[in-house]
Each structure stands twice: as structure tokens, then as C-alpha cells.
Chain A
């Protein structure tokens, strides 16, 4: 995929988060609407955009048609995280410590505030930015700089549960491990597992890197194999962990030269992983697929990426061992591709669904790629 097939759309706001609206699993449609949140503006906004992909199969080019703005709404404070709750509603977290649910009215293309929890994350005398949110409708879990984990239910006033002092440092991101377990990452390089069924205020497991305790900024779970988790942190290293085994990561890969802001497994093709970073690059990681032939004998591969790890057994147990856990700290059987033209400012956020990828940068640009090779 050539870098030049991605066009920038300049939108006059620095994009902090961007997410595709989920498409129903039954249809084979490509996603057509995404939401963005801005930051560092005097008046921040959330906006909905369309790329007009309504089942049109006649598109040859990957970039025809800029994203069109559908509607936007004022947002109080920086949008620090954004998730779709369902087809019409998004949850956002703010630098003022508030959590808000917005509803997108598709018929009139307007946005209204559906529910709001102001100042849920706070210090005794000040607001604390709420840094991450994850939701599984109707449950919403947020984390913040105040080290709290808060559980809400959409359509219910007040909070369901607060885990005070869950962490003595800032919690940067949260994700679901199982329906009742969540995983958080903090600024002293620890992953913590929390079992929400239990009433205790301490994590059920703590994992961390050996060596320097650098902050971790993002975490994502493998869509099919729930014990595999990828994280990225301040030094731009991509770590893949197996939460069942041991307390240190399974493999470490040098990815970026600055903070990694987001990491995403592709939801339907988890052999593909995407990361974006402060250094302005967006990488597409692809593990080689299960095959009988060792990868260095297959044609067309970039030889410099070939690892020195052991050959996989022909056929056999490979389907049970994820290729992400190759256990080798070199690039493994991985191919990495840059997806953006060079010299962009920090890429703050990305999302990938089907064959479409969207990302937003500090250069106030949105990039959409409709033909991601997955």
C-alpha cells in the first residue's frame, strides 16, 4: 500500500481521538461514519464525519472523497477518550474530569447531550482529567489521573462503584479482559487486572516490565485469545503479554522513537496490529500467517525483517500458539509498514474496522485509508 494513497483532510482542530461507528456483524458493509474529539482548543468539539461508503463497490481508489462533516457539538475540556456505546451514542471523557454521553440523531444530523457526570474524577480541591474509558453497553468504566476506577451504567444517575486509590499514579488506559475483568495501565509501567465481581479495592494481578518502569499509555486485548494483550508506552516499545503466564511481557519490539499513543489489534484479522505515536508515524504490523513453509523461504518478503527465531513446526500446534508470542525480541516473523507520509506531527489516535483506517494528528489533519491490506 503506497503512502501516497492517503490524503490529509485539514480540520482546524487538533484531533485527540477518533473512532469508527460500529457496523453490525451480520452485514458485510464497510464502516462509513466516524467520530472525532479535539483537544487543546479554547472551544473543543466532538464531530461526526462520513466517508460515504454506503455499500458502494465501485470505488477503485482508496481515497476518493474527503470525509464530510455531518455535525458537531461543543465539548467542555479536552476530549481525552471517546468510545461508541452503541450505534447512536458515544461516551467521552474530559480533562475537566467529566464523563458525558452524546447522542447522534441521524435523521436531523444533530447531537445532544444524553447524560452527564460532571467532576467524577477529582482531587480534594481540583478537577482531575479523566484519561480513559471503555464500555460494554450499558456498563461504562473510566479511569483518571486521580488513580480512581469508576463504574457507571448508562441511563442510570450517579455512579455504580468507585475504586478509590486504585493506583498511586495516573492510570492511562483501560480495556476489558473478560466481561467482568478489566485491565489498566499506569505511569509506573504496570498492568493491573481487576475483577469487578469482587468487592476488594486491590487488583487481582499486577504485571510489569523488568528494568525501567516507564509509563504505559495504551493497551488492547487480542480479539479472539483473551489472554494476549499488547501495550505501548513512553519509549515507543510494543510489548505483547500473556496474562496467564508470568508477570513480564512475552515479547518486546522496538516500534517508535517516541510515546506510543494507541495500539489496536484488527478486530476481525488479529494477525494485524496498528500502532501510532508521538513521532508522527503509524505502523501496520503483520505477522506471517500459519503456513508449512518457514517464512524466509516464501517469496516477496523483506528479508531484513526475518527473525532468528526457531522455525515453526510444520502444521501441527501452530493454531494454538499465537504468532504474536514468538518469544523473540527481534522483529519476529513480522512485517511493518509505515502508513503515513513522513513529517507529520504526532498521530494521537487511530481506529481500524474492516478495511478502513482513520487517524488524527496534532497537525490538525485526519487521514482515512479505505484499502488497508488485511
Chain B
């Protein structure tokens, strides 16, 4: 072995060059032969701290030991990356955990909320149901005793009362009716709010409804000295299909409002077809041309805003089906008008123009908002124009269907109608109306024409006289407006004298159309049997007919109780009804009563016969059954009939589409006890009426099954 000389420094450096990393490595080589005294052979004498790596070096010298100490010059720095990364990961993990936790919490919370909401929803629905039940109950429970009270008052009126008593009863009736209408209004509002209002679709006569409304207000209008008039265009058909009650409600509301706020002048209601009016945009509104001479607002402005009339609506006539009727109704008054600042609030419920209004006039302020909803339900629009101190005009449109599908059917129906029975007596007569105001004369002519009388109009007495005396038209009736008559008393007495001189078998009858009875009139100049009779306005065909009849001695059997007749007639006309009673007298009376309302009646006197007659198929629309009969009583018979209806379907091939036979059976009973009622329902009866028949109760029970007049045969 040859000894070598090593330059340790350069050797180590060369070695380490390859090993050196970024960190400076300090290497110390020691001769550690002597353990306690290492001899430093290479490297700086930096204190050894930190980690060092010791490795032995073998230079081949057996006597000496060498060690190499390697260490980093600098302390190892913080492992920032690792630290940051781990911190980052921690943070991320934490955040994730947090998000997760929060999400779970949120989900839990949301579920909680959802459950709470479901609870609340159930509560709300229950409250809604409770509200409907409340409405229904209140309707029934409050109305029943009220109707009882009113019914009793009505009956009281029919008994022997002296004048004071009659007055008291009338006052009580008035209050009672006001209360009922108030209740109805509030309930209507509640119904509308909960979206429960539905319209009927029955046949009705528009003119009759307006007559009714007129009569409602005629007393008040005469008291106030306000002229009331109604005009319905000839193009509006006789019968319409829609909801007469609600229509009447709207008109009554508008007229009631006008009546409240009008002290002078007139209230004029007109009904036209939309097609008639849509073309004419200029209406005569000059002062002289209105009904009473007082200025009015321009009615066209009240419908200017209607969507249906705007430019896009010009395709309007093409869209609706051929038998739908579009009516436009205006209520024009010459009252105090609505101040501009209040006009926007007019249709808001419970709003009134001033707080004093409800004190002075009564009412709750819901009427117009209900009317607006009703008009909306009828596919129409409502609007108004109002000028303070001049007046207001409210206009609304509504869509109905034509009720006169079969014109022949209704001509014969007309003749049975009481108000038109007068028309057969006056048919062919001619009347002369003396009135300088064309609008008012048009109204008079409309009402007179309804009675079948043809009408001529002149504007003053002289002209009238020349018409009468010219003799080519046989004029039977002359109607003179009060203001014309009063204007010149000399001329009027001349007129009467000339009447006496008319060379004819029956001189024409003279009438004065008066607005209100003025006491000065009673000391009229004329006397003797040619005193002209006075006909009070507002004109109504029925009243006109009555006055004419009285004056002309044309007699007819007027029935006092005709109010129930048309209503029951509408339900029972043409219906086939079976009456079962073992007592002949009862049978005859019941049959007579039903026949009076136009029903076709068949009688049988035992339960057995009833069962055989009512075996399906049969053509009876209803059956009135006496309960107490020998052999088989009413309950048994009804039970048998119901069983037959259920099981006898297999034999019913003749009548297609009638799978569920259920003929309405009403019990006739002389004792109306609660127990009987339950018994009736238990065995399958549909109701009961008392014996002998009472018109109102009969109507109530029968109207549950029958809706309107049938068209021809079943």
C-alpha cells in the first residue's frame, strides 16, 4: 500500500460539489483517533448545533480514524409550504365542515318551517271552511228569523188595522227590510271577497224587472219631487237569460244612489243594445233636450273608458255568439254630483264621499263595489261621469243570452201573463201624447206602446187639438204633460170644452201625466164628468193599464195577489205533477191550485196507485203525496218507489241518458211536526208542504227542483 497525500480540502470540495444542495452544507472533517481531542482537518470552526450527520472516513490509514461531520449551515427554515398547505387544508376542512353543518341546519330549519307552514295552512284552510260555514249559517240563521218577522208583518198588514196601526206596521216593515238588505249587502261583500259569488242563468223579462224597481222608488221620487223615468229600447228582446236578481241589485243600487243625492230634476234610466249606441258618439246634451229641462252630464263620457269600446274592440261585433245580447244601461241624474277628489274612490268598498253621508242617508258604502263585481261577473264594465252641481251618469254593460229562442212559444206565454192581458184589451187603440220635451215624450210613448196602443206625439195643445179634430185617426186617449196643462189654464179649459163638443160616439179620454200631486191641482177649474184623470209618474205599464181601465170602464179580473203567481208559474208551467190523497176534497183543491199555476195534474187516491204510476219509466216531473192514507201510507209508498228506482234500471231502455231515476216527492201534511220531517227524509222524500197549500212555502220547496219554464215537452 502506497501512502497517498490527500488534499482533504479540495477532495471534500470536489466530493461535495455534487452533493451540495441549495442549502450550504458545512462539512467538518475531524481526526478522531483521539476521542477527546478531535483534530479539525477541514472546515470552519462553527459551533456544531443542530443536526449533523456523522460518517466515518476511511483513508486507508489503519492507525488513524477520521470522521466527517456534515450539517446545514442554516437552520432548516420553517417548512412554510407544508405549514401553509396544512393550515390551508385545515381551514378548508373546517369551512367545509362548517358549510356542511350549516346546510344540515338549514335543511332542518326549512323542514321545520315547512311543517309549521303546513300546520298554518291547515289552520288557514280550516279557518276558511269555518268562514264559509259561518257565512252560510249566518245567512240562514239571521235571515230566517228576519224573514219570519217580515212575513208576520206582511200577514199583519192583511188583517184589519186602523190607520195608526197600519202606519206602525209599515214603519216596522221598512226597518225590517232595510236590515235584511244590509245583511245581504255585507254577506255579498264577504262572498265576493272569498270568490264565492255565482250568477244564475234563468229566463227573465227585463222590462218587468225595471217596472219593479220603478215601483220601488216611485213613492220616494214623488215625495222628493224628482221625475223618474225608464226607457228600454225596442231592440232589446222580451226575454233574456241571466241572473235577474243580481241585475236588479245593480240597478237598484245605482238608482238608490241617484235618489239619495238628487233633490231636483230627474233620474232617467235607459237600456239599449251596445250596437245601437256605439256608433253615436254625440248625444244631445243641450239643456232643453233633457228629460226635465235640467242640464245633465254627457253620458258618452261615462263609457269612454270602456275597454270593449276602444279601437281593438271594433272587432267586437264579430266575436260574441249570435244569441248573446250586450246591454248598456245608463242611470242619469241631476243631483249634486261627486266631487273630483272623491271620484277615484267611488268603487272602493266602504268608502263614502263624506263621513256625514252615512249619517244622513244611511247605507254602508258597499253598494257600488258590489255592483262593480257583479258587472264584472256579467262580463261587462261600469263607469261614470260626474260634474258637481250638474249631476252624474253611471253606465254599465252586461252580457246576456237571448231568451226568446222560440218566438211562437213566447207569444202564447205572453197572453197568459197578467200585465199583458191588458194589451189584448187596448190593442189597436191610438193615443196622443202632448209633450214639448222629446226625451220625456219618448219615454211615455215606450210605456204606452207596451200595452199595444199606437202613439202619436205633439208638442202643444193647439197642435193636439188639430190632430184630434182632423178626425182621420180615431184617437182614443189623450195624455197631456202636467206642465203643458198648467202653463195655460185658459187653453186647457178651452180644450176640455172642445172635447165635449166632439161629435163622436165615444170622445177620447183625457189624462194628465203628473209628477207629483200638488194641492193646487185639486182646486182645478174643471168639474163634471169630463174632469181629466191624473196618471202619476213614473209611468209603468201595469199602472198605466190600471188607470186606463178604470177610466174607460174596461173590466178585467185583476188578481190582487199576483206577485207570487208569475214566480210559481215560471216553475210549474207545463210540468206533469201527480197528486196522491185519499180524500177527494183535498185532491180537488190541490189539483185546482196547481193547475192555476199552469201545471198538468193527475190525481190518484191511494198509495198503491202511486207506486204503480211512478214505476219508471214515467213522465211525471214531481209528486205530492199525502202521508196518512189507509192500506199504504205515504212513507211506505215512497220507500217502495225509491227501491223501484234503484233496482228497476235494467228495464229502462226506452229512456236513454236517464240512468238515475229520482222523481221529486213532496209530502203533503196537515201537521208539520219535526218528527214528520225526519221521517219524510228517512224514507226518501225530498221535502214537505203543508196542506192546504201556502204559496210561499210551495214556491220554496218546488224551486229546489225546478229551475225555469221548460221549452216545450220533456
Same complex? no
